[in-house]
Structures are given as C-alpha cells and as structure tokens.
Structure 1
Amino acid sequence: MALEAAIFDLDGLLVNTEVVSWHIYQDMLSPYGHDMTREEYAQLYSGRTERHNIEAIIERYEVPMSVEEGFEFVAERERHYHALDVDLMPGARDLLAWLTERGVAVALASASTEERAIGLLEQNGVRGHFSHFAYSTEVAHGKPAPDVFLLAAKRCEAHPESCVAFEDSEAGVLAAHAAGMTVVCVPDMRRPAPEVLDLAHAVVPTLADAIPVVEAIL
C-alpha cells in the first residue's frame, strides 16, 4: 500500500503513563480497603476511556463517590504524578523523527483528553511531529470500537487502509484492525491475547523496532 498516515495511541505506547494510571486507581481504592493488581488494571482498564474506567471502578468496588467526583480525583492525582515527569517510551522519538523526515502525516488517536494529551506531548518535546488529533471524547464509541481511528484518518484526509496504526493494548489493536488499518503492536503492561496479536501486521518490542516494518510499507 502507499502509506498516507501514521496514527498513534498515546498512553503506554508513546508515553509511559499506563503505570501512572494504575497507581491513580490504586489511590482511589485504597481508602476503602480495596486494591487493584497490575494484571487486573492491564486486563480491564488499559486502553479504555477515563469515563469507562471511572464508572466501572465505582460500580465494581462500590466506591462511595459520583462519577464527577471520580474525575476530580483522577485529575488531581494526575497533576501530582505528571509533575514528577512522564517519559517517552523507548524508540518513540526515533520513530516520530523518522516519519517526519519522510513527510508522512502523523496523527494521534487517543482515549485521553485534548488538554492532557497535548501537555504530555509538549512536555516531551514531540508535539511538533503531529499534524492531526482525534480523541475518544469526540466519537460515539471508544476503543475497541474503530471510531477514533476513523476520525483520525478523516482528519488526515487518508484512507484507513492506507494508514498504519501503532498500539500497545488489546482494545487498541482491536480498534485499529476494525478500522481497516495496518496495525503494529508494541505491548506494554500486558501482552494482548494471541488471537488479538494475530490481527496485527507486526509485533515489536519498541517503537524504534517498527521503523523497518514501516519502511517496508513505504
């Protein structure tokens, strides 16, 4: 195919924030005597929207707070953790620079909010690589539905089948595949199930290792 755009997830793929989200949800549950294992976070909450996760956690653990109070709690804890700096994932800077040098449109398709996503990209000095943005808050259905990837492709004026999508989570791989894109998976906290990995064009350990994969597509 002729590559028209490269579309990236954010959390756990470009920036090392999945472990931060896990700690935040642990902080939410701890006062009520509950705990969330790393495996539970990875299986049930990784790659999902913040609203989905807050609603699910409140219901699952019977946490005595409203969804809006949950949002306020998460926002406050994010400010705390992000003040400690959140680093790029290995190879992210290399791959973004490589794509930019070759004139490939680069977009973000994230379950995050715009303010948070832009802040993380600017904090790490890579905001300038991105020409288009799409957020799950803008579409009817979050990942694993394909909506946010399709919106990103539309904003790039690209055909989905001519896009390569980079994802780390099971929900993200399912979403990008459902959008008809070529998927490159870089697993983070939890390696997706074998049947999900089978949907990916390639599975690589870091984003830098994706460069030869994309080069073969160009």
Structure 2
Amino acid sequence: MLKALLFDLDGTLTNTDPIHFATWKDVMKTYGWELDREFYDKHFSGRLNTAIVANLLPQLSVAEGEQLSWQKEAEFRRRARGELQPLPGLMDLLQWVNSQPLQQAVVTNAPVENAEFMLQVLQLDQQFETVVI
C-alpha cells in the first residue's frame, strides 16, 4: 500500500529551468562564454554548480568557484521571485494528496536556500513537513 509521495522540486512542482538557463547564460558571458540551449542542456542541466564550475572554469580556485556558485544562486532567486508558478495541475494533485492518508516530502539537489525560497514563493512551505536535500 502506498504510504508516501516524494515530489522533486525543480521540474515537478515548478519549472525553474528557463530561469536557471538565463542566469547561467549571463554569468558565463562574463567569462567569455556564449551559451546556447543545446550546450546548456548537455553541460549544466541537472548538474551541481561545483561540477559545472570545475569543468568549464578550471582556472577558478575552489573558493572562487564557491563564490561564483553563491552569486549565481542569489541571482537566480532574485529573478525567480516574480516568475515562479506551480506547474499546471499541481494544486489539484496536492488537494487530492491532502485528502489521502499519505505522507509527503520534497526531494531536491537544489541548494537549501533555493529550496526554502521556492517553496515559500510557491506558498508550499507549509505543505511539506520534510525537505530532503
């Protein structure tokens, strides 16, 4: 019997990909990179910032890479504030889930600051008792 539902955050609750793409595109432009969608999908999408920076900007120290990652995510949150929306059908699904004897959690590889931010913007921060990073 089904006891719990796990929801991925990015791409299941909301579509953050266009915002991440635009943010990375601008960040990488400062390093002389011109990103297109195909390159982004292959080298950025679904990967951790540390891996992206180490692979594409090996000239940066670990500390510089961490700083760049932090700045990129802060810029993502700034841009996302007015753009994030629940994916179509999500609120109906959650209404049904809430009527069932099911536990729920969000799972994500997003930075904890982003996860908390997105759930708050989507007004889902009270929906999920557990967030697994």
- The corresponding residue for 1:32 is 31
TM-score by length of 2: 0.83
Alignment CA distance shift 1:55-1:88 (3 Å) = farther
CA shift at 1:117, angstroms?
0.8
CA shift at 1:53, angstroms?
2.7
Aligned residue runs from structure 1 range 106-121, under 5 A: 106-121=104-119
Alignment CA distance shift 1:67-1:87 (3 Å) = same
Q: Distance in 2 between matches of 1:72 and 1:49?
A: 12
Alignment CA distance shift 1:53-1:101 (3 Å) = farther
Equivalent position to 2:86, from 88, 99, 108: 88
Answer whether contact 1:93 1:126 (CA < 8 A) is retained: no
CA shift at 1:33, angstroms?
2.7
Count residues with an aligned counterpart: 132
Structure 2: runs of 5 or more not aligned: none
What do residues 32-83 of structure 1 show as CA deviations (whole Å, max 9, x unaligned)?
3311222222233222223223333323xx5799212212321331232023
Alignment CA distance shift 1:96-1:48 (3 Å) = farther
Query: 1:127 is paired with a residue of what secondary structure?
Result: coil
Q: Distance in 2 between matches of 1:115 and 1:72?
A: 10
What do residues 119-164 of structure 1 show as CA deviations (whole Å, max 9, x unaligned)?
21121112222121111xxxxxxxxxxxxxxxxxxxxxxxxxxxxx
Q: Distance in 2 between matches of 1:55 and 1:96?
A: 38
Query: 2:126 is paired with a residue of what secondary structure?
Result: helix
Range with greater deviation from structure 2 (93-102 or 40-49):
40-49
Alignment CA distance shift 1:115-1:33 (3 Å) = closer
Are positions 1:99 and 2:97 aligned together?
A: yes
Answer whether contact 1:100 1:106 (CA < 8 A) is retained: no
| Residue identity in the other structure for 1:12 | G
Q: Distance in 1 between matches of 2:40 and 2:4?
A: 31
Q: Distance in 1 between matches of 2:87 and 2:22?
A: 18
Answer whether contact 1:57 1:63 (CA < 8 A) is retained: no
- The corresponding residue for 1:6 is 5
Identity level (%): 24
If asked which structure has higher relative contact order (CA below 8 Å, sep 6+), I would say 2
Query: 1:103 is paired with a residue of what secondary structure?
Result: coil
What do residues 2-35 of structure 1 show as CA deviations (whole Å, max 9, x unaligned)?
1121111111221121111111111111123311
- The corresponding residue for 1:19 is 18
Q: Distance in 2 between matches of 1:54 and 1:86?
A: 25
Alignment CA distance shift 1:133-1:38 (3 Å) = same
| Residue identity in the other structure for 1:78 | F
Query: 2:30 is paired with a residue of what secondary structure?
Result: helix
Answer whether contact 1:3 1:104 (CA < 8 A) is retained: yes
| Residue identity in the other structure for 2:89 | G
